[in-house]
Structure 1
Amino acid sequence: MKQNAVLERSPVGAKPLRQRFSGALLRYRWFYLMMVPGLLYYAIYHYVPMAGLIIAFKNYSLGKGILGSEWVGFDNFNIIFHTPDFYKLLRNTLLISVYRILFNMVPDVLLALMLNEVRVLWFKKIIQTVTYGPYFLSWVIVYGLAVAFLAQDSGIVNYYTRELGGTAVNYLASNEYFRPIILLTDMWKSTGFGAIIYLAALATINQELYEAAVVDGAGRWKQLWHVTLPGIRDVFILLLILRIGHIMDAGFEQIYIFLNARVYEVGDIIDTWVFRRGLEELEFSIAIATNLFKSVIGFILIIGANKLAKKFGGSGIW
């Protein structure tokens, strides 16, 4: 009798739940509708193509197709790890990525902090526009500007170097200057965009905290140290975790455009090597296997970075 009573009540109890769900779905239908394009984008361009990862374990042939190609197991990974230049490529990739993290995140924060202290609104808007503008330029245009300044024969820098009695330097084809040029151009292009993210974080800090700090006798530097920096700490950690997760991506587009045969020793990275092997030599299995290796390493790094962030008091990603 008791069991029958429960069975009889369960549909009655479940009906309000369904009604609440359908009511919420109807009430927020426009929000769910706006999510559809983003969900479709990730489904079509990020999840459906993951079925092609099986190519990494096959000797892929365009004629035979994915399903008809021969299974080779981990042979493609053995080829990658025994490639003579693999460890040089890995070293260059990691070094350039680490340099980007170390030298590109701090300017974003510094610019945001300086703009946050500007009280003249029109001057602040001008600085934001000037620093944010390069973000919209393609790397081809940035490389053209670099050539205009640094070319050995016609560059502005070398022109004045010769005028002052010095010797022209081929900066763009020098192992010594390649990485600094990569870092400086990336910093010039992306600092303005990064600063806007931190400015948004600064806008969310409760102004009462500054008022309390002033009452306690804190000056501008102590307010910066005890209120402002803690206020953007979580955003900084979040961006740091995301950058660590992409540490195997050293910026293919920029490197590919700036790269030339003379600087392969310090500038050739995994992605440029994959481009040559995968698209120029049509070794698709090697390219997919390399990208799978990168993805696994990135996944491990982002999990580890998230755990470390939580361990030291950060919010992490999840």
Structure 2
Amino acid sequence: MKSLLKLHTLTFVGLAVAANLGLQVYLAFGEVKPWAQINWMDVIGEGGSGLIWLVWLVMLMRSRPAGRVSRLLAVGMACVCFSWWMDVLDEFIRLAPDAVWDNWLETAPMPVGLLLVTFGIYHLHKEQQAINAQMSKREGLFREHLLFDKLTPLGGAQYLRQHVQLALEQAERAQQPLSLVVLDIDDFSAVNLVHGEAEGDHLLQMLAQLLVLNLRQQDVLCRLAGDRFVVVMPNTGETQARWLAQELQQAVAGFAYKTLRHGERLQLRASVAAAMAYDDDVESLLRRVNLGIAKARRQAPQRGAA
């Protein structure tokens, strides 16, 4: 990260030059007061306030990147610092009674600086709101990330249950049907046994992509467990869900997956089941589709290992 001086050189150099010029002007047109005539209460009050403001300016610039908000705050605070500096000089240097320009040097920078600081704080507030919104999204994504399957870019079992619950509530409010489709890869354990678990994991990743490509935009695919996938289909009756389930089954059967090591094609087959929600809760609906997939697997013709 760039240093403080590199980021805000102009602000601090400008303030230092302005303060020095103000001192030179006072010395050129006035005379230094005797020690006994100095009002030390005003010196402490005005000088202390200006010093604290300067410390705030340094702290702000150390924590802020260069940009519009930083410039507004820096220039505004520098104007206020300069105004207090001129007030302090007035306690040490006496000017002619007819000099009026010193009042302008003392008072004019103060409202200008406070106005710039006000604009800076306003934009800082807007900036912070945007950051808070972004952080809230990132925090939400982080929490949601914990619900996703580690192998495939799909929601896991817990995410599925939460999504089905929301989908059930939405379907009830909109008076629309909601269906679930379950797809289970037949003899998937043979892939792990013959070709190894690494090949099986890669196959599941490719299957996840294949299934997503064969879904509608409103459908949500999750990995329930192992080689079992569940599709949540809003505004879909059971008949239409069965058609879509058969399309997914055909997509798996036509999947030209070739192994990583030998490049041989694996002949895949899947069992599917569909169920439409009636008066179900999440668990009863998932139980019905799982019973359906178990029935479909019993009825599926047996074949050799892949």
Q: Which has the higher helix share?
A: 1
**TM-score (norm: length of structure 1):** 0.20
Over alpha carbons, which structure has the higher Rg?
A: 2
